[in-house]
Structure 1
Amino acid sequence: MLMQTGTRLVLAPLSRLAFRPVVEGRDNVPRHGPVILAANHLSFLDSVVIPLVAPRPVAFLAKDDYFRQPGVKGWLTRTCLTAIDAIAVERGGHRSAQASLRVALGVLAAGRAFGIHPEGSRSRDGRLYRGRTGVAWLALASGAPVVPVALLGTDRIQPVGARLPRPGRITVRFGTPLHVTRQAAGSGGQARRAVTDEIMTAIQKLSGQEVADRYNDPHSPS
């Protein structure tokens, strides 16, 4: 734990030096209790930057492959992910998705902050894709407020496919918390869809991205 805290204390000023982040709406993130930070997804850096600029630790799920990479790069990746409270999970398939949501629910049940990218995969063209309903399931199951988050510029610093980031400036915007209740939203798939669409609309208002009215296909050339 001491090593994790120490690494975080080193990473935070380094990120400010390298990325010169402009952070807006930081006070919108509750300092205590469970909260979901739902963000757009443009770069691998997104899940690293948010925990480093947020006013409290934020746990993201990360593919377990990242924790098994060999060599110096693998060591650096594991060190950084551990420092920002990333949680290793197996990805791929319906069962692993459900297992990931249960892990996330456990984070929230412990009163912690959990970060999620409702689009799933990183956007390759800069557009905001349709959100998947896991974020709504988490909000309804936990009762945690949802803070919409927009990242701008991370795709220029580390585009999809780039091995290492380059210096540049990024912006992180934390929006007003959304409070979702089962009583107001109802239950079932339609309720989860409606809540997810509300969250994605809030993200788009912060990011200004063009909306792609479909799910993101990570294998699509577009």
Structure 2
Amino acid sequence: MLYRLMKYVLIGPLLRLLWPTKVSGTENIPTTGGAILASNHLAVADSFFMPVRVRRMVTFPAKLEYFTEPGIKGKLKKAFFSGVGQIPIDRSSGSAAQAALDTVIRLLNEGNLVGIYPEGTRSPDGRLYKGKTGVARIALKTGAPVVPVAMIGTDKVNPIGSKMWWPRRLEIRFGAPLDFSRYEGLAGDRFVERSITDEIMYTLMELSGQEYVDIYAAKAKELAAAEAAGVRPAVPAQADARAADRVPESKAG
């Protein structure tokens, strides 16, 4: 009920009015059953503009911090994020990461549309970065089709570091669903999961027209911060690199 109120009465009409958006490919979104909407990630605004253009409810796993802030402001934020289809995910530990995967798998098995950002965080410069393999693992465990989504122009509406949303024309492209049933039973095979993830990212590159960068967006941010501080960043251990690959973020980080 709260989701419908937000989408059709409060937020949806406002976004449609102030930000004219060209939308194509909505026929590629399944009308029933679970499906993954795998999107590039340019801005916090992505999680608001895309669901408004989809008939079905879209659920995005979100940072737990959005739901736990104390006081009246915290309660309002919790109501807001719940109302736009977000669910809280604790990502503070390895077990929490697995819990996030399990939550997304449960939602898909229940027949929901789930939004996922395979890059794991917002692009720092508008380019498309290497995807985390969690999206592949989820697809393999659920059999859900993966619908690639290209958000175009949201980084101009809501630039990183800006608290303002600026009037710009946007475009959202929904690509043809990707079917990975040929890999059924191979969840956990890291080579298969990497192959699937790379196919998703290649499709997103073609759909969005973005330049592709073969490193993780989080690593790119780390390197940029280190360079700005004049510090030589440490090379992560192999175990840390593997751990960073597990869970695709589904809300701006």
Normalized against structure 2, the TM-score is what? 0.81
User: Unpaired runs of 5+ in structure 1?
Assistant: none
Distance across 2 between alignment mates of 1:147 and 1:70: 37
Q: CA deviation at 1:58?
A: 0.7
Alignment partner of 1:39 is 2:42: no
Q: Deviations over 1:37-65 (max 9, x none)?
A: 00001101111222111121110011011
**Secondary structure at 2:147's aligned position in 1?**
strand
User: Unpaired runs of 5+ in structure 2?
Assistant: 226-253
Superposed counterparts of 1:208-219, under 5 Å = 208-217=209-218, 218-219=221-222
| Alpha carbons 1:147, 1:175 under 8 Å: kept | yes
What residue is the counterpart of 1:192 in the other structure? 193
Q: CA deviation at 1:69?
A: 3.8
| Alpha carbons 2:39, 2:204 under 8 Å: kept | yes
What residue is the counterpart of 1:157 in the other structure? 157
Distance across 2 between alignment mates of 1:109 and 1:127: 32
What residue is the counterpart of 2:224 in the other structure? 221
Question: Partner letter of residue 193 of structure 2?
Answer: R
Identity rate, percent: 42
Distance across 2 between alignment mates of 1:14 and 1:72: 24
Q: CA deviation at 1:76?
A: 5.4
| Alpha carbons 1:29, 1:55 under 8 Å: kept | no
Q: CA deviation at 1:20?
A: 1.1
How many residue pairs were aligned?
Answer: 221
**More divergent stretch after superposition (159-168 vs 118-127):** 159-168
Distance across 1 between alignment mates of 2:71 and 2:166: 21
What residue is the counterpart of 1:52 in the other structure? 52
Normalized against structure 1, the TM-score is what? 0.92
| Alpha carbons 2:148, 2:203 under 8 Å: kept | yes
Q: CA 1:208–1:193 in structure 2 vs 1: closer, same or farther (change >3 Å)?
A: same
Question: Partner letter of residue 105 of structure 2?
Answer: L
Q: CA deviation at 1:117?
A: 0.1
| Alpha carbons 2:140, 2:184 under 8 Å: kept | no
